[in-house]
């Protein structure tokens, strides 16, 4: 179930990139109106690579699989409008670092190379790196209503009950002998 969700999310992402924002997508593509509200597709591809280095997949979804791009994209048209320029410049810089060192855009180099680029970004443009780190963690660990933390996946990962059991989690109901 977990793995399948991950694969689905990745495939949807590729379709979205290919469709270049023209087609209305069916299924569960992360952005609810069928495309990004703010991000250009190329920027979304770079951002996905950055976010998934900040929170990679392991037994639990990566940032983008949990909807973090939807979170950031939506907020760039709402509360984080003021950060749009920083995103445009920062993503462009990340892509440029990747092309200079590895000869290809960030979304198409290897995971190891992406990690190296994001580390370089952290030192070369700490302002943008801190912003995107913060926003990625917000999207992943914040409330699902904003498009990230899909199905409260991070809360489940941390062992929180979802939906919350309002005060009942203090009892370990598995304890004791079966009778």
Partner 1 sequence: MKRVNAVVIGAGAAGGIVAKELSVAGLSVVLLERGPWYTASDCRKDDLRNQRTTMLGNAFGPADEGNPRVSVDASGAMRTWLPSEGGYQNNAACVGGGTLSYGAQAWRYMPQDFRMRSTYGAPAGSSLEDWPITYDDLEPFYEKAEYEIGVSGDYSGTPFHGPRRHPLPMPPLAPNREFYILEPAAKRLGLHPFHIPMARNSVPYNGRGPCMRCRWCVGFACEVDAKNGSQNTVIPTALASGNCELRTECMAKEVLTDDRGRARGVAYFDASGHLQEQPCDVVVVSACAIESARLLLNSKSRLFPNGIGNRYDMVGRNLQGHHYTGAVGFFDYDTYDDVGPGGSIAISDYNHGTSGLCGGGMLANEFIRLPIHMIDRLPSASPRWGLGHKQAMRAAYKRNIQVFGPTQQIPTADARVTLDPTVRDKWGMPVARISGNVHPHTFDIGEVQAQRAQAWLKEAGAITTVKLSNKATGVSAGQHQAGTCRMGNDPKGSVVDRNCRIHDVDNVFVIDGSVHVNNGGFNPVLTIMAVAYMASASLVQSWKGTGLKS
Asked if 125 is part of the footprint of partner 1 (rule: CB under 8 A), the reply reads no
Residues 101, 113 contacting (CB under 8 angstroms): yes
Q: Which is nearer to partner 1, 3 or 103 (CB)?
A: 3
Dihedrals phi, psi of 17, to nearest 5 degrees: -65, -45
* Shortest Å, Cβ 28 to partner 1: 22
- What CA–CA distance (Å, rounded) separates 119 from 98? 11
- Candidate segments 11-19, 31-39, 40-48, 131-139, binder of partner 1 by CB under 8 A: 131-139
- What CA–CA distance (Å, rounded) separates 69 from 74? 8
- Candidate segments 7-15, 28-36, 38-46, 75-83, binder of partner 1 by CB under 8 A: 75-83
Asked if 68 is part of the footprint of partner 1 (rule: CB under 8 A), the reply reads no
Asked if 141 is part of the footprint of partner 1 (rule: CB under 8 A), the reply reads yes
Give the one residue of 2, 11, 32, 79 binding partner 1; rule: CB under 8 A: 79
CA atoms within 13 A on the CB side of 63: 25
- What CA–CA distance (Å, rounded) separates 51 from 71? 11
Residues 118, 136 contacting (CB under 8 angstroms): no
- Candidate segments 5-13, 38-46, 99-107, 141-149, binder of partner 1 by CB under 8 A: 141-149
- What CA–CA distance (Å, rounded) separates 161 from 168? 10
8 Cβ contact partners less than 8 Å away, ≥ 6 residues apart? 27, 28
Asked if 105 is part of the footprint of partner 1 (rule: CB under 8 A), the reply reads no
Asked if 137 is part of the footprint of partner 1 (rule: CB under 8 A), the reply reads yes
Q: Which is nearer to partner 1, 24 or 173 (CB)?
A: 173
Residue 84 tokens read as 């749009």
Q: Which residues bind partner 1 (CB under 8 A)?
A: 53-56, 58, 60, 75, 78-79, 115, 118, 133-134, 137-138, 141-143, 145-146, 154-155, 157-161, 164-167, 169-170
């Amino acid at each position: 179930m977990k793995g399948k969700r991950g694969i689905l999310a990745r495939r949807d992402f590729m379709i979205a990139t290919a469709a270049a924002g023209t087609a209305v997508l069916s299924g569960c593509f992360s952005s609810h109106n069928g495309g990004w509200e703010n991000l250009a597709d190329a920027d979304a591809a770079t951002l996905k690579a950055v976010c998934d280095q900040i929170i990679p997949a392991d037994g639990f979804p990566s940032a983008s699989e949990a909807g973090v791009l939807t979170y950031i994209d939506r907020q760039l048209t709402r509360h984080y409008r003021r950060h749009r320029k920083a995103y445009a410049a920062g993503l462009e810089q990340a892509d440029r670092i990747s092309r200079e060192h590895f000869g290809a855009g960030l979304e198409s180099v290897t995971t190891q190379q992406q990690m190296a680029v994001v580390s370089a970004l952290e030192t070369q443009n700490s302002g943008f790196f801190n912003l995107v780190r913060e926003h990625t963690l917000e999207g992943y660990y914040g409330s699902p209503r904003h498009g990230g933390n899909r199905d409260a996946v991070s809360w489940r990962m941390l062992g929180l009950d979802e939906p919350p059991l309002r005060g009942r989690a203090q009892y370990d109901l598995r304890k004791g002998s079966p009778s």
